Amino acid sequence: FFGRPPLYVEPGIRTGMPIRYDNPAEVGADRIVNAVAARELYGAPVVVVDFGTATTFDLVNAAGEYAGGIIAPGILISAEALFAHASRLYRVDVRRPADLIGRNTAGAMQAGIYFGYIGLVDGILERLQAEKGKKGKKGEKGKSRSDAELRQEFHEAVARFKQEAEAEAPGSRSP
């Protein structure tokens, strides 16, 4: 497809990044590829946030090693659980609502899903920053993106997930 043979990323492949995980074979190839790419693009230390079925936070330490990570349910999995298990709630679009405070059920659900997920991401990143402050060395820093850039990427990811969800479940219920 790209005029090159595929590279299969699996346990034992040499990436140039030591994996400091209790059992390195447990780390998904996607997480390793993300960590290697982020280190190459932004330097170390760096935190990679990947929005997918799960939302993962992967840490590359100042030495350029994969230091571990955090796995949380993805935004669509969380929304699907709400739709499936709350008897009086229905499927809504996952998008930024006009207001923080919903004035109807759909708006309240959208606010909870959207801003709740931003809170999850912000909260984990704040805790990681605080943890780094406890363990990090003075003057240690990596390239980072502004909050505006991160939020824009989040909005784009939500839009992509919405399109994927609509493609998978046409004719979903709406208010």
Report percent pLDDT > 70 for the chain: 75
On the 0-12 / 13-18 / 19+ scale of CB atoms within 10 A, 70 is middle
What torsion, rounded to 10 degrees, do the Cα atoms 43, 159, 73, 107 define? 130
- Which of 150, 151, 153, 144 shows the shortest CA–CA distance to 46? 144
- Show the CA angle centred on residue 130, arms to residues 129 and 133, nearest 5°: 90
Work out the mean pLDDT of the chain and round it to a whole number. 82
Q: What are the Cα distances from residue 78, in Å, to 33, 43, 70, 91, 94?
A: 25, 32, 16, 12, 11
* pLDDT, tens digit, 9 for 90 and up, residues 8-43: 887 777 889 999 999 998 999 999 999 999 999 889
| CB-CB contact of 121 with 140 (8 Å) | no
- Residues taking part in catalysis: 30
Q: What are the Cα distances from residue 47, in Å, to 36, 102, 169?
A: 11, 33, 33
* pLDDT, tens digit, 9 for 90 and up, residues 49-99: 998 899 999 999 999 999 999 999 999 999 999 999 999 999 999 999 999
Q: What is the mean pLDDT of residues 106-123?
A: 94
Query: HSE-up of 63 (CA within 13 Å, CB side)?
Result: 7
| CB-CB contact of 35 with 60 (8 Å) | yes
CA distance 141 to 135: 13
- Show the CA angle centred on residue 37, arms to residues 39 and 15, nearest 5°: 90
Query: β-pairing, 66-73 with 46-51?
Result: unpaired
User: How many C-beta atoms surround the C-beta of residue 81 within 10 A?
Assistant: 11
